[in-house]
Structure 1
Amino acid sequence: MTIAIGFEGSANKIGIGIIEDGKVLSNVRKTYITPPGQGFLPGQTAKHHQQYILDILDKALEEAKIKPEDIDCLCYTKGPGMAAPLVSVAVVVRTLAQIWKKPIVAVNHCIGHIEMGRLVTGARNPIVLYVSGGNTQVIAYSQKRYRIFGETIDIAVGNCLDRFARVLKVSNDPSPGYNIEQMAKRGKKFIELPYVVKGMDVSFSGILSYIEFSSQLIKEKMCTAEDLCFSLQETVFAMLVETTERAMAHCNADEVLIVGGVGCNVRLQEMMAVMAKERGATVYATDERYCIDNGVMIAQAGWEMFRSGHVTSLEDTWCTQRYRTDEVEVTWRN
């Protein structure tokens, strides 16, 4: 038996999770929520993580019913993410590793999402659509790497949704993307927006600028905020489904796995399911426990890495804001 504890703090969630040979023992998380219309800044987010990380650690150990001596390795998010929050968590992990005398495994945040998705859903070899506040990628596994088939060339889809939520002064509790999704369900009028797909890549910054300008239509009573939320979702999700389907055709894949915070969106899952059904394929997705950034996904990826021989020396336990998914050698998959 191998027990791994994972620490995640790359953005506005601080999470600690514990896993034992594919069984989730605990998954504790706290979100830094800012006032409506405001995003989260690195320094303030890092202070939030520093304030709560030890309390969350106690809760995770208590929930898992284990002691530090039972743990085989400590796993932390090396990147990508925001520098100050990443470092604030890494410092705690380095300290605990020396106190508990345990090895450390540095984990790529994106691969944490993929491995947790594979574990929870049972997907064998899917095309992965990774959509979150900071990342948008279409991924396939090949020859010991997660290969990026397509990605955003500017901002992530989650960032696009979040920034439009700020324009509308939508609440950040529990998340701006979730509140946009609920508003979109009440939208009735479709407003045509730019549809920007370039080969396998997508672009969202122009759509964001256009819809920010279109928000003037609300004042002119030409449409409602709900109509714009509906139109934005339908447009950006159609772009994502198109590029995902192209990757499936190229790889002759019959599975799609949606991961990342935006992957919780039911409408995205519905649209992907329509495409998959037409291809005779299956869609896999998880709920907010594992879609949204969490510690147990870092534990699961670290568990896989540790069992295949990965250990990070103390002097190499640094963080980076940019850490490509395809930089990591995937030694644990055949």
Structure 2
Amino acid sequence: MVCALGIEGSANKIGIGIIRNGEVLANLRRTYVTPPGEGFLPKETAEHHRENIHQLIKNAFKEANIEPKELDVVCYTKGPGMAPPLLIGAIVARTLSLLWGKPLLGVNHCIGHIEMGRLITAAKNPIVLYVSGGNTQVIAYSNKRYRIFGETIDIAVGNCLDRFARIIKLSNDPSPGYNIEQMAKKGTQYVKLPYVVKGMDVSFSGILSHIEDLADPSKRRNKRKKEETAIAEAEYSKEDLCYSLQETIFAMLVEITERALAHCGSNEVLIVGGVGCNERLQEMMRIMCEERGSKLFATDERYCIDNGLMIAHAGAEMFRSGSQMPFEESFVTQRYRTDDVLVTWRDD
């Protein structure tokens, strides 16, 4: 039996989770929310985490009804992510490890998402679509590694959604992506957008630039004057643009996921990461899976959105398999690829 504490703070959410032998004891988090039209900057995000992390830890132990002495390991997000917020989690984890005399493990953020998804859904060996604000990858497990079959070559899908939400001044509460999803449900007209799939990789920056022009008629007029070309002057509603953006980028993700599914001969798809909460993405992926005789696995916002529990669970799996981390290696890294991790806890 392994009891683990997990600290996640790679972006605008600070989360604390406690898990014992696969049983969820606590899963708490707080989100740094900025005004409409604004993103979250590393320094201010780190300040938010520093102000909230201690109380979250106290509340987590209270909810779990355990004492620190009952822990077997303290885990934290080592990367990828934004450096200042990551450092808050790492510093607190190192302090608790020394204070309580517990082993310390740094966890890859993506691996945390995957292992949490596998635990909650009971998926055996799925093709994984990892979609979040900072990452977009299609992944399959093979020979002790989570192999990346395809990924974004520029910005992540969640970043694309978040930036468009800022362009049209949508609220960041509870999240830009969620508010785009709700607005897209009211859209009725599909606006044709660029569809950029290159082999197994995808690109979103050009789509974002194009739809930004559509959202701002003045930019279209300036572009027409500059290029001396005829551009149709059409007014597009925010609802139609949100609807069109979702339909286009999600179709791209379904395409590369289906290709990986066929290549690996798998019959399971697991969606993880914050964008994986999107009901339209899940619906589109489910249709594809049904057509192929496969099964879709997905989770809700408790486990899809960044949380400390996923770090605790992945760390517990690492600890159970004998993984150790020298204290001098308890740093963070903004670029920590999924396939850099040796998966010691899986034998299949």
Alpha-carbon shift at residue 185 of structure 1 (Å): 0.2
Q: Which amino acid aligns with 1:278?
A: E
Alpha-carbon shift at residue 204 of structure 1 (Å): 0.2
Match of 2:343 in 1: 330
Match of 2:255 in 1: 242
Runs of 4+ in 1 over 3 A off after TM superposition: 217-221
SS in 2 for 1:154: coil
Is 1:268 equivalent to 2:281 in the alignment? yes
Is 1:87 equivalent to 2:87 in the alignment? yes
Note the 1:295-306 alignment, pairs <5 A. 295-306=308-319
Alpha-carbon shift at residue 221 of structure 1 (Å): 6.1
Match of 1:233 in 2: 246
Inter-partner Cα distance in structure 1 for 2:64 and 2:300: 21
Q: Which amino acid aligns with 2:345?
A: W
Inter-partner Cα distance in structure 1 for 2:38 and 2:154: 21
Inter-partner Cα distance in structure 2 for 1:222 and 1:175: 26
Match of 1:134 in 2: 134
Inter-partner Cα distance in structure 2 for 1:287 and 1:221: 37
Match of 1:71 in 2: 71
Alpha-carbon shift at residue 88 of structure 1 (Å): 1.2
Q: Which amino acid aligns with 2:200?
A: M
Q: Which amino acid aligns with 1:297?
A: M
Is 1:196 equivalent to 2:209 in the alignment? no
Match of 2:226 in 1: none
Deviations, residues 92-135 of structure 1 (Å, cap 9, x unaligned)? 11011101000001100000000000000000000000000000
Q: Which amino acid aligns with 2:180?
A: I
Structure 2: stretches of 5+ with no match in the other structure: 221-232
Alpha-carbon shift at residue 222 of structure 1 (Å): 2.4
**Higher mean C-alpha displacement, 322-331 vs 310-319:** 310-319
Note the 1:80-159 alignment, pairs <5 A. 80-159=80-159
Match of 1:31 in 2: 31
SS in 2 for 1:33: coil
Inter-partner Cα distance in structure 2 for 1:328 and 1:12: 24
Inter-partner Cα distance in structure 2 for 1:146 and 1:133: 20
Task: Judge conservation of contact 1:25–1:64 (CA < 8 Å) in 2.
Answer: yes
Is 1:318 equivalent to 2:331 in the alignment? yes
SS in 1 for 2:61: helix
Q: Which amino acid aligns with 2:75?
A: C
Structure 1: stretches of 5+ with no match in the other structure: none
Inter-partner Cα distance in structure 1 for 2:48 and 2:317: 29
Alpha-carbon shift at residue 223 of structure 1 (Å): 2.1
Inter-partner Cα distance in structure 2 for 1:223 and 1:39: 24
Match of 1:280 in 2: 293
Inter-partner Cα distance in structure 2 for 1:246 and 1:221: 36
Task: Judge conservation of contact 1:217–1:223 (CA < 8 Å) in 2.
Answer: no
Task: Judge conservation of contact 1:26–1:64 (CA < 8 Å) in 2.
Answer: yes
Q: Which amino acid aligns with 2:318?
A: M
Inter-partner Cα distance in structure 2 for 1:29 and 1:314: 26
Which protein shows a greater Rg?
Answer: 2
Is 1:164 equivalent to 2:164 in the alignment? yes
Indicate how the Cα distance of structure 1 residues 283 and 212 shifts in structure 2: closer, same or farther if over 3 A, else same: same
Inter-partner Cα distance in structure 1 for 2:171 and 2:288: 32
Deviations, residues 32-62 of structure 1 (Å, cap 9, x unaligned)? 0000000000000000000000000001100
Task: Judge conservation of contact 2:214–2:236 (CA < 8 Å) in 1.
Answer: no
SS in 2 for 1:137: strand
Q: Which amino acid aligns with 1:157?
A: V
Inter-partner Cα distance in structure 2 for 1:47 and 1:91: 13
Match of 2:223 in 1: none
Is 1:60 equivalent to 2:60 in the alignment? yes
